[in-house]
Amino acid sequence: MAQKAGRHSNISIFIPHNGCPHRCAFCNQRTISGTAAQPTAKDVRKAVNIALSSPDFDGANAEIAFFGGSFTAIDRRYMIQLLEAANQFIVSGKVAGIRISTRPDAIDGEILTILKQYGVTSIELGAQSMRDEVLEMNRRGHTAQDVIDASRLIKEYGFSLGLQMMTGLYGDDNVGARYTARQIAALRPDTVRIYPTVVLEGTELAEKMRSGEYYPQGYEDAAKLCAQLLRFFEQKRIKVIKLGLHASDGVEGSMVGGAYHPAFRELCEGILYYNLIKETLREQYPDGGDFTVYVPKSDLSKATGQKKRNIARLAQEGWKVIIKGEDDIDGTERHNTRTCKIEPIHQPDSPAPSGDHRH
């Protein structure tokens, strides 16, 4: 994977289900990773060299990322072989570091010392929930305290900490998801990933769904919840680096229920933009009318919403809007926040807009 210079990117190496001591109720790693093959050191070198050959690749902002399994729980010799293959690119200065994903109960001082030795820079923990009853019901095999202990240890050793959470799990609800978000934020991670539960064929959740024991949340309701969580983490200055499974994650052919949409994050962003525009209109122009809403060009599709749904919803409430993207609305230094400027159309006697509004 390569991105334009200046933007962080991952060279992703998937290790499907390898090292996991438990089969979680929601897990089918072969589907999520799109492969069942275990990568070798040679595969690691090949993937990195392909990325380095891209003219847009910026190694100074890139990490070699071992995802898909519990990296620190795999066979120790195999883990070190993969790390050695990746480390040569760190030592040579071609890539900035190594990112791994693992379980909270597969972290200790010995493991962290090894990871530091081989140039690992970021560690992501699959917390999923901070409610012990939810973790138990979904067969995670660890506790919320394991997440707390591992997170503190990771930060003490100087690694960048990432935490992953899921919404809509068996036995969980929106109140529980917001509780998990607050507990995760209290650990001060550098990054967060939010995954609404997608029910995959071949999992325990699929069986429970078919038996009527589990009713997964659909993507519309999940988007409303995840929009709240996204806003919450933004307010805490914690970067949400992924929100929802992407089509490239190989889920479309195997999902049997749950909260999947190929542009899930944009759905959530659209909800937040709708809230911002509506609140601003309600404050400045409560009697309705026709307006032009200016947003940063990069946010235009988010502000209009999927299939222009935000425009339609605002019209139903009395505000007919045209949404335009502009270069001169500052959107470059924002920390995942939204901004807009609203001007009335054919209303010369209306009060002047008070400027940009940020959400």
CATH classification at residue 352: 3.30.300
HSE (CB half, 13 Å, CA atoms) of 317?
16
Residues 225 and 122 in one domain: yes
Tell me whether residue 315 is in a domain.
Answer: yes
Q: What is the extent of the structural domain holding 135?
A: 9-262
| Cα–Cα distance measured from residue 142 to residue 153, given in angstroms and rounded to the nearest whole number | 16
* Helix, strand, coil tally for the chain in percent (to 5): 40, 20, 35
**Sheet harboring 339-344: ordered strands across?**
319-326, 289-296, 339-344, 357-358
Q: Consecutive sets of 10 residues in the chain, 359 residues long: mean pLDDT of each?
A: 59 78 70 65 97 92 90 93 98 97 95 97 97 95 96 98 97 98 98 95 92 94 97 96 78 85 94 96 93 94 94 96 85 61 74 56
Instruction: Look up the CATH number of the domain holding residue 47.
Output: 3.20.20.70
Q: Residue 1 domain-assigned?
A: no
What residues contact residue 244 under an 8 Å CB cut-off, 6+ apart? 194, 195, 196, 226, 259, 260, 261, 264, 265, 268
User: Are residues 273 and 257 located together in one domain of the fold?
Assistant: no
In total, the chain counts a number of residues equal to 359
Task: Verify that 87 and 220 share a domain, yes or no.
Answer: yes
Q: What is the pLDDT of residues 155-213, one digit of tens each?
A: 999 999 999 999 999 999 999 999 999 999 999 999 999 999 999 998 999 999 999 99
Domain identity same for 197 and 323:
no
pTM, to two decimals: 0.88
Q: Are residues 147 and 98 in the same domain?
A: yes
Do residues 195 and 283 share a domain? no
Domain end position, chosen among 212, 246, 262: 262
- Say if 180 falls within a structural domain: yes
Last residue of a domain, one of 231, 247, 262: 262
Q: Do 38 and 184 belong together in one domain?
A: yes
Same domain, 192 and 217: yes
Domain count, the chain: 2
Question: Could you tell me if 251 and 325 lie in one domain?
Answer: no
226-249 pLDDT tens trace:
999 999 999 999 999 999 987 655
In a shared domain, residues 215 and 345? no
Which residue is listed with tokens 């940020």? 358
Q: Are residues 203 and 338 in the same domain?
A: no
pLDDT at 34: 46
Of the three residues 262, 285, 301, the one that is the final residue of a domain is 262
